[in-house]
Structure 1
Amino acid sequence: MLVLPDVSLLQSFVTVAQELNFRRSAERLALDQSALSRRIQKLESQLGYALLERTTREVLLTQAGQTFYAAALGLLDTYTQSINESRRIAQGHTGHVRVGYMAFAATELMPQAVARFERLHPAISLSLRYMRTQGQKLAIANDEIDVGFMIGPYDNSECHSVLLSSEVLYVVTPRAHPLLRKSQIEPKDLMDENLILGDMAEWGEFRYRLNDLFNREGVALSPRLEASNTLALIGLVSAGLGITVYPESLIGFLGNNVETRPIIHSDFRSRTVLVWKRNNRSRSVLNFVEIAKKRGVGG
């Protein structure tokens, strides 16, 4: 089995190949000439062939030595670059962070965190994936994303979770809807309304949270219509087919064909959490977490 030479032997040979003089090479390496000669002899012994032709007057590279010099030089170059790049990654100066986000984080929390992160860490690349909350949980477990903006709370012994926002829930109605005549809207006021909600495939986590909140108030959620995306939901509401419920972060993006009012109840809030694996110690990921947390409720 071939014994691979260590780096010190390669560095010694490359220096001699460049200088073609043992005295000058020894000075560059801060060695005495006898120690340098032993290194070259050890390298040649490990390789099984001569690299240098030495006489009392000159030092020359053998044909094998010329080929080995080019290879060793490239190898040391790559080795040095790898050390420097790994150091930059360890210090959080370069790297890659994979971010998952759901609709409620898409308008402010995620974009603002990304903007601050790119300003402070321009050498670190980001990839962003729109994913429903349940998909993010699986993606983090399978190491497909590093951090996720998801509907909370989320309790998992393998993950950290920090609350980023706690938003008031709003009822979204067609213009001039009778509910708008009330001085304030409470959960029980939605009991007999035609509800239009996101379908379970895409909005499952939000639907579970809504069902729990309304059930506690004795209101059963039985949607008249379901849709998979925000545009369709708002289109159905603006057409007068019913009402829906949205968190505050989306209210400013709904257009002029619908009206919104807050639901007056202390528990009726939507929470967004930032989640990442406890064993993910990447400095780039932790830097992103720290920046995103600054907009958090507790940050």
Structure 2
Amino acid sequence: MELRHLRYFEAVGKTLNFSRAAELLHIAQPPLSRQIRQLEDELGVQLIDRSARPLALTKAGSFFLQQCIQVLARIDEIQQATHRIGQGRHRWFGIGFVPSVLYGFFPELIRSYRKASNGVEVILSEMTTIEQSEALKAGRIDVGIGRLMLNDPELVCDVIEDEPLVVALPLRHPLLRHARLSLKRLATEQFILYPAKPRPSYADHVLQHFRSHGLNLGSVVEANEMQTAIGLVAAGIGVTLVPSSVQRLRRDDVVYRPVADAGVTSPIIMNFRTDDASRDLARFFQFVDEYKVTK
């Protein structure tokens, strides 16, 4: 499989039209069709349902298209960053982050760091904690801000903050009559767990809180993102646990309550390579330390 196969399939998968895809790629349609056939033969699966009108992707094809889009976008980023560095215009500093930290100190930390780091291009990448681990070891990022403790001798995990979790409930939910809610009470409700994948993730961290109190969730609805989970709460589908900083996301249809049990928190963890002694990372540590002092 070559890079051109990914680009060809991305064009076909997005347009669902071989003629249009060939025009976009500036090649003739017959060779494009042959290349896609070769790709399917190599993968051993059918990616496109050619009997459908219009063309349709198979389940495998839909999955493969999403992976192609991500891989090609990452390759474009690498090419652009490499060109900038090769031209000597900028140093770069890569930061991976999980979306839930955007509601707390992280945006201000980035603003301050960028302002103080003239000549350094700060590149932000949204990724799960597990993805951060892989990206750090591959050198794609320099530091990650996640919520899972990584057990890897090549990485250092430093807890910046242990953030309390709060319960998100829909308007007029019966549990709103309580000022605080126990995990035991929440375990009897339909619970919205996120992210559904990849695992391990924040979802496993939440499940562990229930298990440590001898509890198992009864009815579970899975969501892939926190915003989706909160939307499902607003729709009355269930309840969920979110970091307390998420309360800054003002919604008229969701109400938050603190958890009655002690220690129901989610850590915010800074991950970095064990042997990284770069000055840009050291400067980043300084801003994190300042936040810890003022918190």
How far does residue 100 in structure 1 lie from its aligned partner after superposition?
0.2
SS across alignment from 1:169: strand
Q: Could you say if the C-alpha distance between residues 112 and 207 of structure 1 is closer, same or farther in structure 2, counting changes exceeding 3 Å?
A: same
Partner of 1:244: 240
Say whether residues 1:221 and 2:223 are aligned partners: no
**Match status 1:270 vs 2:266:** yes
> 1:51 — aligned with what?
none
TM-score (normalised: structure 1) = 0.64
| 2:100–2:226 Cα contact (<8 Å) kept | no
Report the equivalent of 1:185: 181
Q: Structure 2: how far apart are the matches of 1:223 and 1:99?
A: 36
Q: How many residues align?
A: 210
- Give how far 1:222 is off: 4.4
- What value does the CA root-mean-square deviation take over the aligned residues? 2.5
Q: Is the 8 A contact 1:150 1:275 kept in 2?
A: yes
Matching residue's letter, 1:187: L
Please name the residue that 2:192 is paired with.
Answer: 196
Cα 1:223–1:280, aligned 2, differ >3 Å: closer, same or farther?
Answer: farther
Whether 2:156 is the aligned partner of 1:160: answer yes
What SS does structure 2 have at the residue aligned with 1:294? helix
**Could you tell me how far apart the structure 2 residues matched to 1:222 and 1:140 are?**
37
Identity of aligned residues (%): 24
Structure 2 residue 207 is the aligned partner of structure 1 residue 211 = yes
Is the Cα–Cα contact under 8 Å of residues 179 and 258 in structure 2 kept in the other structure?
no
* 1-structure distance, mates of 2:258, 2:284: 32
1:260 aligns with 2:256: yes
Report the residue type matching 1:268 in the other structure: V
SS at the partner of 2:270?
strand
- 2:280 maps to which residue? 284
CA distance in 1, matches of 2:193, 2:179: 24
1:194 Cα shift? 0.7
Is residue 2:123 matched to residue 1:147? Answer: no
SS at match of 1:279: coil
Residue by residue, what CA displacement relative to the aligned partner does 1:106-146 show, whole Å, maximum 9, x if unpaired? 22332122111122122211000000111111111222211
Does 1:112 pair with 2:108? yes
- 1:231-252 Cα offsets, whole Å, 9 max, x none, are 3212211111111110112121
One-letter amino acid of the structure 2 residue matched with residue 161 of structure 1 = C
| Change in CA separation of 1:194 and 1:254 when aligned onto 2, cut-off 3 Å | farther
Q: Point out 4+ residue stretches in structure 1 off by more than 4 angstroms.
A: none
* TM norm structure 2: 0.65
Partner residue of 2:46?
Answer: none
Partner of 1:176: 172
Q: Are the structure 2 counterparts of residues 158 and 297 from structure 1 closer, same or farther at C-alpha, using a change threshold of 3 Å?
A: farther
Gapped regions of structure 2 (runs ≥ 5): 1-84
For 1:57, the equivalent position in structure 2 comes to: none
**2:289 paired with 1:296:** no
Letter in 2 for 1:112: E
Please give the alpha-carbon distance, in whole angstroms, between the structure 2 residues aligned to 1:197 and 1:203.
12
Q: Relative to 1, partners in 2 of residues 1:293 and 1:153: Cα closer, same or farther, differing over 3 Å?
A: farther
Aligned-partner residue type, residue 260 of structure 1: Y
Cα distance, 1:283 vs. partner?
1.0
Task: Give ranges in structure 1 of 5+ residues lacking alignment.
Answer: 1-84
Residues 111/257 of structure 1: CA separation in 2 closer, same or farther (3 Å cut): same
Which amino acid in the other structure matches residue 196 of structure 1? I
Equivalent position SS for 2:287: helix
- Larger deviation: 151-160 or 115-124? 151-160
Distance of aligned partners of 1:222 and 1:137 in 2 relative to their CA distance in 1, 3 Å threshold = farther
Q: After superposition, what is the alpha-carbon deviation per residue over 1:19-39, rounded to whole angstroms, capped at 9, x for unaligned?
A: xxxxxxxxxxxxxxxxxxxxx
Structure 1 residue 265 displacement after superposition = 2.0
Relative to structure 2, which stretch is displaced further, 117-126 or 152-161?
152-161
Q: Deviations over 1:216-266 (max 9, x none)?
A: 112212453211123321221111111111011212115111110011222
Return the letter of the residue paired with 2:203: R
Describe how 1:28-39 pairs up with structure 2 within 5 A. Answer: none
Query: Which deviations, in whole Å up to 9, do the C-alpha atoms of 1:176-203 show, x marking residues without a partner?
Result: 1111112321111112101111133157
Quickly say closer, same or farther: Cα 1:198–1:254, change in 2 above 3 A. farther
Would you say the 8 A contact 2:192–2:240 is kept in 1? yes
Distance 1:294 1:154, change over 3 A: farther
